[in-house]
Amino acid sequence: MKTTGESIDRNARRQRGFSLLEFLIAMLVLTIGTGGMLPLLIGSITVNKKAAGDTTSIMVAEVVLEQASSQAANYAGVLPNPIQDCATPANAWNIDVTDAVVGAGSGGASGGNGANLTAAGTIDWTEPYNNIPAGYAMKYVACSTTNDTPVTYDVRWDVIRTSTAGQTKMIVVSARPLYTQGGALGIVIPANLRTITGM
């Protein structure tokens, strides 16, 4: 007959813990698994930041487009309600909606007045910012809700009268973030919006 002490000794021998080698192998597997997730985490942060920049680009372009299209079709000149940004001190940007017939204004062969347009009808981003007439471009500094560095957005527009006789206008607005501050986040495709007014 076995005593209680003998059965306790047998159970104690069967329930040995991790050895140091097993512990090191487990830590190595955990480290490799966690390290494999790190590029995914960094990639998702980058994509999230880029998506936020794209969304703000569209929102800034929409504000300019709505301000310009809210005027009467025969309105020409600078809008009386300037847009203010979060620069220190704040910039006040005016929006010029003076139009020109295609090819006759400052917007190049495909545009009216404002920034140059490409043959496809989008803003030509190869044109230097300083070459765009005053009132047709702005470098808008977005407000930051966190402690991040505020992002500056380059916004450009062109106002085209579709014919010499009519008052119909096409307004093309484009915006993109300038990631010169804080490092680039890859290629950012500018948001291009357009509308027709005065029909």
Considering the domain boundaries, does residue 42 fall inside one? Answer: yes
Q: Please check the confidence at residue 50 and state whether its pLDDT lies above 80.
A: no
Percent of the chain with pLDDT over 90: 19
Number of domains in the chain: 1
State the DSSP H helix or E strand holding residue 23, giving kind and residue range, or none if neither. helix 20-69
Q: What is residue 82's three-state secondary structure?
A: coil
Considering the domain boundaries, does residue 20 fall inside one? Answer: no
Let me know: does 87 contact 73? Beta carbons within 8 Å: no
Report the chain's C-alpha Rg in angstroms. Answer: 30
Considering the domain boundaries, does residue 140 fall inside one? Answer: yes
Considering the domain boundaries, does residue 88 fall inside one? Answer: yes
Considering the domain boundaries, does residue 5 fall inside one? Answer: no
Q: Enter the DSSP assignment of 80.
A: S
Lowest mean pLDDT among 23-32, 72-81, 102-111: 72-81
Considering the domain boundaries, does residue 84 fall inside one? Answer: yes
Q: 79-107, pLDDT tens digit by residue? A: 876 678 888 888 888 899 889 898 888 99
Q: In which band, very low, low, confident or very high, does the pLDDT at 199 lie, cut at 50, 70 and 90? A: low
Q: In which band, very low, low, confident or very high, does the pLDDT at 117 lie, cut at 50, 70 and 90? A: very high
Let me know: does 151 contact 133? Beta carbons within 8 Å: no
Considering the domain boundaries, does residue 12 fall inside one? Answer: no
pLDDT at 2: 56
The parent domain of residue 68 ranges over: 34-197
Lowest mean pLDDT among 25-34, 113-122, 133-142, 159-168: 159-168
E strands present in the chain: 83-84, 92-93, 100-101, 113-114, 137-141, 152-161, 169-178, 191-197
Q: Please check the confidence at residue 54 and state whether its pLDDT lies above 90.
A: no
